[in-house]
Structure 1
Amino acid sequence: MAIFEITRECMTPLSETSFGVEGIYERNDLQRHLKQHISVLSSDLMVISEEYGDWIDSNRRIDLLCIDAEANIVVVEIKRTSDGGHMELQAIRYAAMLSTMTFKQLIDAHASYVRPQGQTHEEAEAAVLAFLRWDEANEEDFAKEVRIILAAADFSKEITTSVMWLNDHEIDIRCIRLKPYRLPDGRVLLDVQQIIPLPEAADYQTKIRAKEQAEKEHRVERHEIRYQFWTDLLEYAKTKTSLFSGKKPTAAGGFGVSPGKAGLLLGFVTRGNDAHVELEIDYRDATKCLEVYRHFQQHSVEIGETFDGEIDWDQSSERRACHIRCFVSGGWKSPREEWPLIHKNLVDKMIKLEAAVRPYIASIPG
Structure 2
Amino acid sequence: MALYSIAGDQLKPVQTTTFAQEAILERKHLQAMLRQDTSALGEDLLVLSEEFGQWQDSSRRIDLLCLDKARNLVVVEIKRTEDGGHMELQALRYAAMVSPMTLDQAIAAHARHIIHGVPEIEGPDLLIARDEILEFLELDDVEDAELTGDVRIVLVSADFSSELTTSVLWLLNKGLDIRCVKLRPYKMGDQVLIDATQIIPLPEAADYEIKIREQVEETRKVRTKRQEIFKRFWGQFIARSATHTDLYKQRTPTTDHWFSAGVGRSGFAINASLTEDRTRVECFIRLGKNNPAANKAAFKALLEKREAIEATFGGPLEWDELPDKISSRVYIDKLGAGWRTPEAEWPDIQDWIALTAAKLERALSGPIKSLSL
Q: TM-score, normalised by structure 2?
A: 0.55
CA gap 1:169/1:120 in 2 versus in 1, 3 angstroms: same
- Residues 35/214 of structure 1: CA separation in 2 closer, same or farther (3 Å cut): closer
Equivalent residue runs for 1:244-263 within 5 Å: none
Query: Match of 1:179?
Result: 184
Distance 1:88 1:43 in 2: 20
Cα drift, residue 205 of structure 1: 1.6
RMSD of the alignment, in Å?
2.3
Tell me if structure 1 keeps the 8 A contact 2:88–2:168.
yes
**Is 1:206 matched with 2:203?**
no
Q: In the TM superposition, what is the alpha-carbon distance from 1:64 to its structure 2 partner?
A: 0.2
- Please state whether the residue corresponding to 2:115 is helix, strand or coil: helix
Q: Deviations over 1:201-233 (max 9, x none)?
A: 1111233446778999xxxxxxxxxxxxxxxxx
Percent identical among aligned pairs is 51
Aligned twin of 1:84: 84
CA distance in 2 between counterparts of 1:139 and 1:213 reads: 18
1:145 to 2:146 alignment: no
Three-state SS of the structure 1 residue aligned to 2:195 is: strand
Match of 2:164 among 153, 159, 168: 159
Query: SS of 2:198's equivalent?
Result: strand
Q: What whole-Å deviation, never above 9, does each CA across 1:22-61 have from its counterpart, x for those lacking one?
A: 0101100010111001121132201010000001100000
2:66 and 2:74 in contact (8 A); partners too:
yes
Cα shift at 1:180: 0.2
Residue number in structure 1 paired with 2:195: 191
Question: Structure 2 CA distance, aligned partners of 1:66 and 1:127?
Answer: 13
SS at match of 2:183: strand
SS class of match (1:190): strand
Gaps of 5+ in 2: 119-123, 221-373
Aligned length: 215
**Are 1:103 and 2:108 counterparts?**
no
CA gap 1:4/1:89 in 2 versus in 1, 3 angstroms: same
Give the partner amino acid of 2:205: A
The answer (yes or no) to whether the contact 2:100–2:149 under 8 Å persists in 1 is no
**Deviation readout 1:137-183 (Å, 9 max, x if unpaired):** 23774134210000000000111011111110110000000000001
CA distance in 2, matches of 1:71, 1:163: 23
Kindly name which structure, 1 or 2, has the bigger radius of gyration based on alpha carbons: 1
Task: Report the secondary structure of 1:18's partner residue.
Answer: coil
Does residue 12 (structure 1) correspond to residue 33 (structure 2)? The answer is: no
Q: Check whether the contact 2:175–2:213 (CA below 8 A) recurs between aligned residues.
A: yes
Hey, what does 2:3 align to over in structure 1? 3
Partner of 1:124: 129
Given residue 125 of structure 1, which amino acid in structure 2 is its aligned partner? R
**Counterparts of 1:210 and 1:31, CA distance in 2:** 29
Q: Which amino acid aligns with 1:182?
A: K
Contact 2:183 2:196 in 1 (8 A): yes
Tell me the distance in 2 between the aligned counterparts of 1:80 and 1:142.
31
- CA shift digits 1:248-285 (9 cap, x unpaired): xxxxxxxxxxxxxxxxxxxxxxxxxxxxxxxxxxxxxx
Distance 1:100 1:158, change over 3 A: same
**Secondary structure of the residue that 1:124 maps to in structure 2?**
helix
